[in-house]
Structure 1
């Protein structure tokens, strides 16, 4: 059975997806409609994962089901929504995080 986000979590994800508080499409802010379509049209670039940690500073650590891991950033504090163990998917080409039925624009940590 798939766990559905609570109404408060759904509201937080909708605010984050809209880029509320940001008026640009830079990495980690609002998801541009073209990036959204491109991500949905290229399924081979999705990385299935679970949340390891989500900080109030916007950094989210995910562990892939294949054993890999990623650190990504989103401008909004999603620490109360993306709890450890939450299933997510990351589009590694277009920088999109799928969480709770929403698609969010993300930036990747630089090594």
Structure 2
């Protein structure tokens, strides 16, 4: 099956500054079942990408403002890094994998 692979370089958690970095988070998004030539298929792709980005960037405690900012920045940066490839895939309506890494 064709897949989109997401790899986060940093996992954002509320761990102490001196703690060892956790392993990179990743998520697989399947796209072979989507018809990217339709708006419905594109909306489904966007939803799947957004959910996967949320997975790889994690969450922060509501009381951890710095952590919330890191998570938000991770999500914005990761989605932005997908933009060109997303547009290319839609243009070609391809089901090939996309590799994504959080910044």
Same fold (TM over 0.5): no
- For the pair shown, the structure with the greater C-alpha radius of gyration is 2
Q: Return the TM-score normalized by structure 2.
A: 0.24
Q: Return the TM-score normalized by structure 1.
A: 0.23
Larger relative contact order (CA 8 Å, sep ≥ 6): 2
Q: Which has the higher strand share?
A: 1
Q: Which has the higher helix share?
A: 2
